[in-house]
Amino acid sequence: MDVEVIDVDDRPPSLREVGRTNANPSRQAASPPWSGWSGTIRRLDSRWWPLWVLFGVLALALLLTVGLVIGLILVVLRLTNRLLRAVFR
């Protein structure tokens, strides 16, 4: 039975990687399972960009809404403060 090995990046592993993983199984077992993830952690998978754009738009809308509400509250407090000062002087 022939089996093709596909890595996480949808590319077959190089001969150097295959030889390294089979050469010393005791060393491979001692290394943490996340040791080979350094390239995938630092960059986002390009297939998920629509989701990241959606999350970015939602985050921006949320920040703008919160800023607008805080600004509105500050304007109402200032107007109320000025009105009370004018009435009680």
Work out how many domains the chain is built from and give that number: 1
- Identify the pLDDT of residue 34: 73
Q: Please report whether residue 6 resides in a domain.
A: no
- Identify the pLDDT of residue 45: 74
Q: How far is CA 67 from CA 32, 70, 74, 79, in A?
A: 44, 5, 11, 18
Report the C-alpha gap between 64 and 81 in whole angstroms. 26
**pTM score of the predicted model:** 0.47
Q: In the chain, what percentage of residues exceed pLDDT 90?
A: 44
Report the C-alpha gap between 17 and 39 in whole angstroms. 15
- pLDDT per residue as tens digits for the range 37-49: 666 666 667 888 8
Q: Please report whether residue 22 resides in a domain.
A: yes
Domain membership of residue 81 as a residue range: 15-87
Q: Please report whether residue 49 resides in a domain.
A: yes
- pLDDT per residue as tens digits for the range 7-20: 666 666 666 655 55
**CA geometry: angle at 51 spanning 49 and 53, to 5°?**
70
Q: Please report whether residue 10 resides in a domain.
A: no
* Whether 52 contacts 44, CB under 8 Å: yes
